[in-house]
């Protein structure tokens, strides 16, 4: 099977939908022109830091044709780039108007929606940065892990806070995942201590590539995010990392290297519990 060139996009999204989408589309185009065939956007790429009512107002359906501004923008960007685009986390309408899903949607190179994963674990915490997070108050949780084939690899989907729940990643591997995406808006307070450790741990225990696209910087309502978008290989080595600011990093995922790690240290086959 062929290797796969991938990109993790880092954004500093604000509460202006049009500007956020314009920046995301521009970076998708740049990554596609540089050869990426799988491009991952961070959580909240289209809207970050506004109030709950604003988030509800921009929630879209992934089933309508034509879709809303978010779906139309990312669909066209994927088509122009000729790449799969993982729309890291966007508000998708649910049966409860007050609580849309936080959905990671995958757009195929023809612009169609290939898959959707609704974030299972919602961020209800106090992390000591002066902010109180109650994602469950405005978000409906999903319930199902999801893996889909993408250009010779099996792609597992997750979003941000999911990273702290290894049982989800074990289920992704059980369903065949060998590449896992983690679009995120990790807080500065938690990111500086846990981001790299958790991502490398998930890669090592899953013996999978991990692509983590992050928000970075300061956002409305006092939110600050850590950034450091990165790509980790199945041995746990960080093979690409974005520094400060917006941009993207790229790496080539090697099928032979992945298979070699799993063959030489067959821990996934040694599981007993």
Average pLDDT, the chain: 95
For 185-220, what is each residue's pLDDT tens digit? Answer: 999 999 999 999 999 999 999 999 999 999 999 999
Q: Is the pLDDT of residue 127 over 80?
A: no
Q: What is the mean pLDDT of residues 119-134?
A: 84
Where do we find the tokens 């519990």? 273
Position 65 scores a pLDDT of 85
Specify whether the CB–CB gap between 155 and 177 falls below 8 A: yes
For 48-106, what is each residue's pLDDT tens digit? Answer: 977 888 889 999 999 998 899 999 999 999 999 999 999 999 999 999 999 999 999 99
**Could you say which DSSP state residue 214 is in?**
B
Q: What is the mean pLDDT of residues 32-43?
A: 98
Choose between 265 and 1: higher pLDDT: 265
Active site (annotated) includes residue 160: yes
Active site (annotated) includes residue 30: no
Q: What is the mean pLDDT of residues 108-124?
A: 97
Closest CA to 87 of 106, 108, 70, 59: 106
Annotated catalytic residue within 60, 92, 160, 228: 160
> With bands split at pLDDT 50, 70 and 90, how would you rate the model's confidence at 140?
very high
d(CA 216, CA 178): 27
Specify whether the CB–CB gap between 156 and 203 falls below 8 A: no
- The CATH classification of domain 4-264, taken from the options 2.40.50.140, 3.40.50.1220, 3.60.110.10, 1.20.120.1770: 3.60.110.10
For 164-189, what is each residue's pLDDT tens digit? Answer: 999 999 999 999 999 999 999 999 99
Annotated catalytic residue within 55, 60, 119, 246: 119
194 φ/ψ sector (left φ>0, alpha ψ -120 to 50, else beta): alpha
> Residue 167 burial (CB < 10 Å; 0-12/13-18/19+)?
exposed
- SS3 (DSSP) at 60: strand
Specify whether the CB–CB gap between 8 and 240 falls below 8 A: yes
Annotated catalytic residue within 43, 60, 135, 246: 43
Q: Is the pLDDT of residue 239 over 80?
A: yes
> With bands split at pLDDT 50, 70 and 90, how would you rate the model's confidence at 126?
confident
State how beta strands 84-92 and 238-241 pair.
unpaired
């Amino acid at each position: 099977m062929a290797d796969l060139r991938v990109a993790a996009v880092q954004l500093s999204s604000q509460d202006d939908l049009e500007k956020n989408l314009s920046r995301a589309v521009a970076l998708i185009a740049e990554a596609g022109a540089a050869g990426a065939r799988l491009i991952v956007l961070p959580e909240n790429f289209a809207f970050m830091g506004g109030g709950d009512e604003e988030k509800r107002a921009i929630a879209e359906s992934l089933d309508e044709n034509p879709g809303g501004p978010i779906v139309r923008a990312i669909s066209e960007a994927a088509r122009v780039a000729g790449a799969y685009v993982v729309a890291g986390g966007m508000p998708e309408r649910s049966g409860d108007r007050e609580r849309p899903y936080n959905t990671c949607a995958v757009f195929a190179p023809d612009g169609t929606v290939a898959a959707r994963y609704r974030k299972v674990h919602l961020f209800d915490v106090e992390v000591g940065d002066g902010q109180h997070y109650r994602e469950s108050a405005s978000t409906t949780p999903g319930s199902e892990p999801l893996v889909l084939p993408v250009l010779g690899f099996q792609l597992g989907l997750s979003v941000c806070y999911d990273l702290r729940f290894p049982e989800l990643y074990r289920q992704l591997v059980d369903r065949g995942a060998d590449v896992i995406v983690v679009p995120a808006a990790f807080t500065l307070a938690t990111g500086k201590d846990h981001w790299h450790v958790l991502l490398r741990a998930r890669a090592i225990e899953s013996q999978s590539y991990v692509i983590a696209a992050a928000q970075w910087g300061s956002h409305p309502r006092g939110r600050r995010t850590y950034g450091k978008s990165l790509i980790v290989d199945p041995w746990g080595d960080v093979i690409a990392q974005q520094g400060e600011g917006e941009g993207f990093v790229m790496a080539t995922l090697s099928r032979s290297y992945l298979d070699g790690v799993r063959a030489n240290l067959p821990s996934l086959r040694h599981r007993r519990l």
